[in-house]
């Protein structure tokens, strides 16, 4: 636990001094304006919830791919990784702590979106089931931490990780139903959506904002947390394998 907390503390120290790492927060207003403009122009108040959710979850994902996922690659770049490998403390909890610190900041786009909606368009979406909404948000942040660890460990294997990170934006937003509900996607794409925790998060949060009763809350939360745990375990295993391989071969990257 001490190593985890040390990772959290160190990442906060680093972020505080690197405001450019918070670039995701600067992109949120553009998404908010775009989404709400469309909805307001089309006179579709029923889609206001969607317009608010999209920037919120895109922001969460943006923090993961823009910052959390690059923690390990950054350490490889500055040669801090081999020093860490030679230290007696395990690296897993340290990096998990650093990623968690970033993902806690991933909640900020939620407040930013609400504030911008109110200031620019004078609308605030109703959240009819706040406890479900916040539970889904918390579960999503947890799942995002696990997913980020898996992505961070994967990126470590590539010399050109930025290329892959670029791919992990718009296709994921579409597949996860963040921008458009999954039910509007072609049938053959839906199984893919099911294994992306964000699709469960978007659906549950959308339902939490609607007036109708939310069904199967427990199972849906479990799906988000379960996918997060699966990613967390896979990330930990992949990181362990990558570091073991680095000790055996003397290289970290795969290609």
Partner 1 sequence: MSVRVRDLTRTYRKGKGWRPKGEEVTALAGLTLDVPANEVHGLLGPNGAGKTTLCKILSTVLLPTSGTAEVLGHDVVTGAAEIRPRIGIVFGGERGLYGKLTARQTLRYWASLYKIPDAVAKVRTGELLARLGLADKADDLVETFSRGMKQRVHLARGLVGDPELVLFDEPTTGMDPVAARDFRELIGELRDEGRTILITTHDMDEAEAVCDRVTLIDRGRVLATESPRGLAAMSGPHRWVEAETSLDVTGIPGVVDTETRNGVLRVKTTDDRAARAVLDFLLDRGVRSVHAVPPRLEDVYLDLIGRRGMEV
> With contacts defined by CB under 8 A, how many residues of the chain interact with partner 1?
29
- According to CB under 8 A, which one of 86, 183, 187, 218 is a site residue for partner 1? 86
CA distance 161 to 170: 17
Residue number with CB closer to partner 1 (1 or 211): 1
164 binds partner 1 (CB under 8 A): no
100 contacts 144 by C-beta, under 8 angstroms: no
18 binds partner 1 (CB under 8 A): yes
Residue number with CB closer to partner 1 (14 or 185): 14
87 binds partner 1 (CB under 8 A): yes
Pinpoint the alpha helices (H) of the chain.
2-16, 23-41, 48-66, 71-77, 80-85, 91-105, 108-116, 130-155, 161-167, 170-175, 190-194, 197-209, 217-249
- Nearest approach, Cβ of 20 to partner 1 (angstroms)? 11
**DSSP helix/strand/coil, 31:** helix
- According to CB under 8 A, which one of 1, 41, 191, 248 is a site residue for partner 1? 248
- Nearest approach, Cβ of 223 to partner 1 (angstroms)? 31
**DSSP helix/strand/coil, 128:** coil
Residues between 52 and 81 with contacts to partner 1, criterion CB under 8 A: 78-80
223 contacts 143 by C-beta, under 8 angstroms: no
Give the torsion sign (CA, 237, 240, 243, 244). Answer: negative
CA distance 5 to 101: 9
Using the 8-state DSSP alphabet, how is residue 200 labeled?
Answer: H
Residue number with CB closer to partner 1 (77 or 170): 77
- Nearest approach, Cβ of 4 to partner 1 (angstroms)? 10
Look-up of token digits 């809350």: 217
Residue number with CB closer to partner 1 (97 or 109): 97
249 binds partner 1 (CB under 8 A): yes
6 contacts 94 by C-beta, under 8 angstroms: yes
Among the listed ranges 120-128, 137-145, 210-218, 243-251, the one in contact with partner 1 (CB under 8 A) is 243-251
46 binds partner 1 (CB under 8 A): no
247 binds partner 1 (CB under 8 A): yes
Binding site residues, partner 1, CB under 8 A: 2-3, 6, 10, 13-14, 17-18, 78-80, 82-89, 94, 245-251, 254-255
């Amino acid at each position: 636990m001490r190593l985890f907390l040390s990772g959290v503390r160190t990442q906060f120290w680093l972020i505080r001094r690197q405001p450019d790492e918070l670039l995701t927060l600067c992109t949120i207003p553009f998404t908010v304006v775009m989404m709400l403009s469309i909805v307001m122009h089309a006179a579709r108040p029923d889609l206001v919830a969607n317009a608010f959710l999209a920037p919120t979850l895109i922001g969460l994902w943006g923090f993961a791919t823009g910052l959390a996922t690059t923690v390990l690659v950054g350490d490889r770049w500055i040669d801090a990784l081999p020093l860490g490998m030679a230290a007696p403390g395990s690296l897993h909890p340290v990096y998990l702590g650093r990623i968690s610190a970033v993902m806690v900041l991933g909640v900020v786009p939620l407040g930013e979106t609400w504030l911008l909606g109110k200031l620019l368009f004078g609308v605030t979406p109703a959240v009819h089931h706040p406890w479900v909404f916040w539970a889904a948000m918390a579960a999503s942040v947890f799942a995002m931490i696990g997913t980020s660890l898996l992505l961070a460990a994967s990126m470590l294997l590539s010399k050109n990780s930025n290329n892959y990170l670029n791919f992990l934006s718009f296709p994921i937003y579409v597949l996860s139903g963040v921008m458009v509900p999954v039910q509007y996607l072609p049938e053959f794409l839906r199984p893919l959506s099911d294994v992306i925790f964000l699709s469960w998060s978007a659906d549950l949060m959308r339902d939490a904002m609607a007036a109708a009763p939310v069904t199967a809350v427990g199972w849906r939360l479990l799906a988000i947390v379960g996918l997060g745990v699966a990613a967390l375990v896979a990330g930990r295993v992949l990181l362990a394998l990558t570091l073991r391989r680095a000790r055996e071969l003397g290289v970290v990257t795969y290609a």
